[in-house]
Amino acid sequence: MIDLHYSATPNGQKIAIMLEEIGADYRVIPYDIFEGDQLSAEFGRINPNHKLPAIVDHAPAEGDEAVTVFESGAILQYLAEKAGRFLPRSVGARAATLSWLTWQVAGLGPMGGQASHFLRYAPQGQDYAIERYTKEVNRLLTVLERRLRTSPYVAGEDYTIADMAIWPGRASAFVMGMGLDDWPAMHDWFERIRRRPAVERAMERADHKAPAKYVGRHQTLNEREWSNMFGDANHAAVKGD
């Protein structure tokens, strides 16, 4: 049994997809990040960075101790190694998979996150930041589009954890007003993955409770929600206050 500590965002969806793809026995433990569920001392013992997702594997491949993993890229790699699937063994394909996985978690993910922050949550008047981050996301998506014109999946011939890491970001592209119609290869790849039964199950099982504030364009948070997400309460959690 694997516990998936989850909030209904692209980072969480990546892991729900992988758990469905490998047929894992798992339960979803939902967190409302606006209410500050992620800031508890108890969750800090699972992820000292107090961010979702994280997993606790109660039946790891070796040993009796439960294994805890945080950071979505590390979780995908851990599950792929445990299941022996979706992370190719051959040196070249493995390197390509880890390259594209890292491209997502260190590039597209954080840049998309910043674009989303300035578009959706920041006070008005952030034109410079909005332009900086949306332009960079646009550049990264151009890289992806060009890759998918010559390769059925991001790492090559096979569907891997790199595709699972990138696919859920479609919601952010939508929030930024980037329709997939402008990106034909990405659109085709997106649709092929969307129709996978495991992806449909993951979206159905893990995503249907997403509150509107997770997906809408411009959000107005109340003082408490702001503090939990970006302010004093968020910072206090890592100081143990």
Ligand X SMILES: N[C@@H](CCC(=O)N[C@@H](CS)C(=O)NCC(=O)O)C(=O)O
Q: Is 72 in the site for ligand X (CB under 6 A)?
A: yes
H or E element at residue 144:
helix 127-150
CA–CA gap between residue 161 and residue 97 (Å, rounded): 7
Token representation of residue 8: 């209904």
- Sign of torsion over alpha carbons 226, 229, 235, 240: positive
Contacting range for ligand X; rule: CB under 6 A; set: 45-53, 86-94, 136-144, 187-195: 45-53
CA–CA gap between residue 9 and residue 170 (Å, rounded): 11
Contacting range for ligand X; rule: CB under 6 A; set: 6-14, 167-175, 188-196, 204-212: 6-14
CA–CA gap between residue 6 and residue 205 (Å, rounded): 12
Token representation of residue 156: 């090559």
Q: Is 120 in the site for ligand X (CB under 6 A)?
A: no
Q: How far is the CB of 234 from ligand X (least distance, A)?
A: 5
Q: Are 240 and 41 in contact (CB under 8 A)?
A: yes
C-beta neighbour count of 57 within 10 angstroms = 20
- If we measure between CA atoms, which residue out of 150, 169, 55, 71 comes closest to residue 111? 169
Q: Toward ligand X, which CB reaches closer, 155 or 171?
A: 171
Q: Is 97 in the site for ligand X (CB under 6 A)?
A: no
Q: How far is the CB of 195 from ligand X (least distance, A)?
A: 25
Q: Write the interaction track for ligand X spanning residues 202-241; mark x where CB under 6 A is met and - where it is not.
A: ---------------------------x----x-------
Contacting range for ligand X; rule: CB under 6 A; set: 5-13, 124-132, 148-156, 192-200: 5-13
Q: How far is the CB of 139 from ligand X (least distance, A)?
A: 20
List contacts with ligand X (CB under 6 A).
7, 9, 11, 33, 38, 50-53, 71-72, 105, 109, 229, 234
